[in-house]
Amino acid sequence: MVIKTVELSLVCGVTSKIPAGTLPEFAFAGRSNVGKSTLINGLMNRKSLARVSSQPGKTQTINYYEINKSFHLVDLPGYGYARANVKVKEQWGKMIERYLRTSQQLRAVFLLLDIRHEPTGQDVMMYDWILQAGFTPVIIATKADKIKKSQLQKQLGLLRRTLRQESHVPAKQPGDQIRIIPWSGQTKSGREEIYAVLDELLAGPEAEENANDLI
């Protein structure tokens, strides 16, 4: 994946209609402060196009970043901000559910979890919503630079186990593995693996069909 152009192409407010859109979308969800803006900036090779928050929980908008004029990275509003009032929390849930259910262009949802902590009830709820909307979440374990290398497998195990045990949505197949990619905004480790997921999904079944046509 080579990033040629990036632009904030659309900001969608809580009550606005989810735009129909024509470009494929990849959405990013997670609690506020988990490192969503940092990841999106890292993927776009930009320092600060996506705002890294000094006021957590403030953004209640869906921001669409257009990459290479060919797809969108979609920054969903963060959750779990303790001081957000009830109305904001309610609007947040409705907005996310509406987005997951109505976006026609959505190809994948990335769920960000802090590698240091056990996922919260809201993380598991988000995980369930993504599954219920028909997507298999790709987990990004953020802030990987904050743990020792020797702790990596143990922490990934904790994330995987908590999601599997607490989720209310049955796995499609009992042995289904949850895909987790460790990422660090400091070293950018994990970026190539995330690009590979995007490349793979952008190629998609249509590209395969086209390739078959050539045979």
Ligand X SMILES: Nc1nc2c(ncn2[C@@H]2O[C@H](COP(=O)(O)OP(=O)(O)O)[C@@H](O)[C@H]2O)c(=O)[nH]1
Q: Which residues bind ligand X (CB under 6 A)?
A: 30, 32-38, 52-53, 56, 78, 142-143, 145-146, 184-186
Torsional class of 18: left (φ above 0), alpha (ψ -120 to 50), beta (otherwise)? beta
- Residue written as token pair 């905004």: 185
Region near Mg ion per CB under 5 A, out of 34-42, 130-138, 151-159, 188-196: 34-42
Pick the closer one to Mg ion by CB: 83 or 172.
83
Pick the closer one to Mg ion by CB: 53 or 167.
53
Tokens of 45: 């090779």
Pick the closer one to Mg ion by CB: 11 or 211.
11
Q: How far is the CB of 4 from Mg ion (least distance, A)?
A: 24
Q: Does 37 bind Mg ion (CB under 5 A)?
A: yes
Q: Do 202 and 71 form a contact (C-beta atoms < 8 A)?
A: yes
The runs of H, that is alpha helices, within 103-167 are 121-132, 152-166
3-state percent breakdown (helix, strand, coil) of the chain, nearest 5:
40, 20, 40
Region near Mg ion per CB under 5 A, out of 53-61, 119-127, 129-137, 160-168: 53-61
Region near Mg ion per CB under 5 A, out of 19-27, 28-36, 104-112, 148-156: 28-36
Q: Which residues bind Mg ion (CB under 5 A)?
A: 36-37, 53
